[in-house]
């Protein structure tokens, strides 16, 4: 793949890379908006549909279950048939699912439509990460991939700001209308402008020189080109693609550690994002202030850029493990500061920076861990299996509130998941040292 790296380092390729980055960032932005939307409309559902808090568990988790299913299916499909069309299809499903959710008449309909939306969300993010990683130069891969992944927490934060403004004026349905129209428009742009992955094509259809000629505009000798146009004939080793790579002897321990780390991290993320507005209102904050404070948590994803720089220079697993350890400490202190609004704002934002830095860095870690033949599956399965952590986080907090855990107790329990993620990444680094 040396020729592929030469193509991605070519100055003429910078404009193509910038265009691809912009489209991938938009996808993660929409992904974050639509994933987090249900948490911000939850208080409105409680009052409008006269629900108990525990009844929100299924609807809060439906999209996460869809995410898991979509990711598990999307990875092997992308490793076999390419990244581009599965990604465009996933964005289209997001738009249709979110738009339909705005017209749900009861909790069952909304739960079903959130599951459908989740399938699209689950297929979009791993393919976006894979394309961005495979177009990026090796020396900047983690930095660019992490920067792109910042779109997810930023989209979730924008969902909070939009919800705080839209819901009092147009109802909770308006949040889904915005979250549905945007991906439908984006899918048309992707169909016209998004190329196939730079590294996937040389391994499956073209040589690296032909891909470089197509994307950068360099000349290819016509006579030589006829030889290069022959379909790549994979060796016996190359035929081991997708899940066979992920579960092979060389990668299985690392795969399990990645799954555990991401699973534990999403227990914290979705347990906090989905329930913080409700918990803060229960702790005495007025609805608008509870919404705005909660929005600070996903906004903290900007720290992933700095993490990417460190990951490109040091051992990536160690960098993220430290972030998870600090996340556990900061999540614990959220529960200790609810009586002081100034401290609460600062601690929630700090916890958000650390939590989102850790989670946003995991796809780049997985993309660098697996070879091209299994990269999409490796990233997708980590994201998909990890999503069950999001489901567990939502139901965990629902059960803790049912058992009358205090605000402090809920966040003390969530903090232990950060220690689990840190331990898994230490084991990953040790096993592949």
Question: Model confidence over 375-393: pLDDT tens digits?
Answer: 888 988 998 888 788 778 8
Q: Has this prediction a pTM greater than 0.85?
A: no
What pLDDT, on a 0 to 100 scale, did the predictor assign at position 11?
A: 54
Q: Taking 80 as the threshold, does the pLDDT of residue 268 lie above it?
A: yes
What DSSP string describes 297-313? HHHGGGGHHHHHHHHHH
Comparing 238 with 17, which gets the higher pLDDT?
17
Residue 8 has pLDDT above 90, yes or no: no
Residue 217 pLDDT exceeds 70: no
Choose from 39-48, 95-104, 136-145 the range with maximum mean pLDDT.
Answer: 95-104
Cβ contacts of residue 342 below 8 Å, gap of 6+? none
- Using CA atoms, how far apart are residues 334 and 349, in angstroms rounded to an integer? 10
What average pLDDT does the chain have? 81
Distance CA 315, CA 333 (A): 28
- The listed range with the strongest mean pLDDT (56-60, 75-79, 97-101) is 97-101
Chain centroid to CA 261: 14
Mean pLDDT (whole number) for 345-361: 88
Exposed/middle/buried for residue 161 (C-beta within 10 Å: 0-12, 13-18, 19+) = middle
The domain covering 2-218+240-431 belongs, at the CATH homologous superfamily level, to MFS general substrate transporter like domains (1.20.1250.20)
Domain ranges of the chain: 2-218+240-431
DSSP helix/strand/coil, 371: coil
pLDDT of residue 418 exceeding 90: yes
CB 80 within 8 A of CB 242: yes
Q: For position 158, what pLDDT does the model report?
A: 84
Compute the distance between CA of residue 13 and CA of residue 323 in angstroms, rounded to an integer.
Answer: 33
The residue among 220 and 15 whose pLDDT is bigger is 15
Residues whose CB falls within 8 Å of the CB of residue 408, separated by 6 or more in sequence, listed in order: 335, 336, 338
- The DSSP secondary structure of 39-80, one letter per residue, reads HHHHHHHHHHTT--GGGGHHHHHHHHHHHHHHHHHHHHHHHH
pLDDT given for residue 113 in this prediction: 94
Residue 113 makes CB contacts below 8 A (sequence gap 6+) with: 97, 100, 101, 104
pLDDT of residue 319: 92
Structure-block tokens of residue 287:
């609805």
pLDDT tier, 263 (very low <50, low <70, confident <90, very high otherwise):
very high
The secondary structure of the chain in percent helix, strand, coil, rounded to multiples of 5, reads 85, 0, 15
Q: Any idea what the Cα angle at residue 321 is, between residues 319 and 327, rounded to 5°?
A: 110
**pLDDT-wise least confident of 110-124, 163-177, 248-262:** 163-177
Quote the pLDDT of residue 230: 34
């Amino acid at each position: 793949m040396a020729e592929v790296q030469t193509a991605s380092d070519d100055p003429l390729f910078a404009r193509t890379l910038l265009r691809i980055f912009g489209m991938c960032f938009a996808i993660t932005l929409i992904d974050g908006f639509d994933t987090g939307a249900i948490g911000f409309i939850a208080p409105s559902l409680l009052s409008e549909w006269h629900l108990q808090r525990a009844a929100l568990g299924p609807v809060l988790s439906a999209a996460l279950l869809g995410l898991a299913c979509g990711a598990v299916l999307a990875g092997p499909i992308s490793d076999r048939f390419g990244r581009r069309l599965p990604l465009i299809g996933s964005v289209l499903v997001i738009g249709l699912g979110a738009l339909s959710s705005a017209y749900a008449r009861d909790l069952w309909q909304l739960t079903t439509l959130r599951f459908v939306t989740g399938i699209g969300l689950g297929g979009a993010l791993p393919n976006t990460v894979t394309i961005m990683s495979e177009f990026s130069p090796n020396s900047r891969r983690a930095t660019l991939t992490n920067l792109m992944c910042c779109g997810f927490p930023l989209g979730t934060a924008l969902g909070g700001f939009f919800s705080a403004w839209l819901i009092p004026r147009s109802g909770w349905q308006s949040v889904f209308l915005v979250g549905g129209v945007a991906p439908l428009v984006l899918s048309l742009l992707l169909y016209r402008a998004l190329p196939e992955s730079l590294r996937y094509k040389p391994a499956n259809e073209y040589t690296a020189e032909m891909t470089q000629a197509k994307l950068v505009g360099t000349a290819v000798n016509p006579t030589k080109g006829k030889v290069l146009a022959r379909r790549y004939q994979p060796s016996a080793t190359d035929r081991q693609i997708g899940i066979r790579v992920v579960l092979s002897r060389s990668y299985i321990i690392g795969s399990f550690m990645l799954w555990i780390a991401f699973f534990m991290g999403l227990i914290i993320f979705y347990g906090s994002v989905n329930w913080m507005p409700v918990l803060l209102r229960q702790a005495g904050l007025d609805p608008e202030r509870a919404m705005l404070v909660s929005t600070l948590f996903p906004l903290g994803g900007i720290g992933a850029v700095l993490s990417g720089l460190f990951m490109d220079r040091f051992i990536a697993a160690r960098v993220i493990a430290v972030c998870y350890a600090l996340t556990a400490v900061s999540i614990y202190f959220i529960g200790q500061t609810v009586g002081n609004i100034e401290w609460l704002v600062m601690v929630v934002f700090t916890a958000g920076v650390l939590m989102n830095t850790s989670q946003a860095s995991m796809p780049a870690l997985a993309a660098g861990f697996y070879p091209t033949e299994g990269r999409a599956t490796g990233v997708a399965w980590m994201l998909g299996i990890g999503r069950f952590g999001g489901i567990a986080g939502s139901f965990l907090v629902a059960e803790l509130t049912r058992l009358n855990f205090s605000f402090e107790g809920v966040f003390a329990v969530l903090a232990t998941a950060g220690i689990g993620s840190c331990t898994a990444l230490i084991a990953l680094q040790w096993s592949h040292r």
